């Protein structure tokens, strides 16, 4: 099933308790093969998912920018880091650099990223469903299923593959 982006928040909300219970069990007793299972599910999902048809992550949330991200992206714009920060970023409640506003400043009308080759690490790794020790990011995953159809599908498949 490929959820429509408009219905994703409701679908995710309907599955919230089920997902929360699942992730609680996953944290307590992660299967030995979890990293391999997640890699497999992630790769299978992204063979049939074209992020350019959605880009909801870029439209609704902003990534964290690490110091390395800021260095790399400001260099790309032939700027020094501080002017780049001043023009595009702000500090959030946790003192992390994030975009001043969403949708992402660098997102084009065609859903292409204007800084794709130098994009932040958080964007390169989104939705983090192939991350090692996946069970450690359950809170992040719960948020991501609300905005990313691929993350939603991966979690649904995961629950079938790892029955508790």
- Listed as ranges, residues in the chain with pLDDT below 50 are none
Model pLDDT, residue 112: 97
**CA-CA distance, 8 to 39, in Å (whole number)?**
23
Model pLDDT, residue 1: 54
DSSP state of 134: G
Model pLDDT, residue 164: 81
Q: Which helix (H) or strand (E) holds 98?
A: strand 97-99
Strand partners, 64: 98
Per-residue pLDDT tens digits for 16-59: 999 999 999 999 999 999 999 999 999 999 999 999 999 999 99
Angle at 55 between CA 49 and CA 61, to 5 degrees: 130
Query: How much is the pTM?
Result: 0.91
DSSP state of 161: H
Q: How far is Cα of residue 132 from the mean position of the Cα atoms in its chain?
A: 15
Model pLDDT, residue 6: 87
């Amino acid at each position: 099933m490929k959820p429509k982006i408009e219905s994703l928040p409701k679908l995710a909300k309907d599955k919230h308790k089920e997902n929360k219970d699942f992730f609680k069990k996953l944290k307590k007793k992660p299967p030995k093969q979890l990293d391999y299972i997640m890699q497999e599910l992630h790769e299978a999902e992204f063979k049939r998912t074209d992020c350019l048809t959605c880009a909801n992550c870029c439209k609704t949330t902003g990534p964290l920018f690490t110091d390395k991200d800021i260095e790399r992206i400001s260099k790309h714009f032939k700027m020094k880091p501080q002017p780049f920060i001043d023009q595009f970023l702000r500090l959030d409640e946790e003192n992390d650099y994030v975009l001043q506003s969403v949708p992402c400043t660098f997102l084009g009308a065609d859903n292409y990223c204007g800084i794709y080759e130098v994009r932040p690490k958080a964007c390169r790794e989104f939705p983090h469903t192939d991350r090692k020790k996946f069970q450690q990011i359950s809170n992040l995953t719960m948020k991501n299923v609300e905005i990313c159809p691929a993350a939603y599908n991966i979690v649904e498949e995961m629950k079938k593959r790892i029955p508790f």
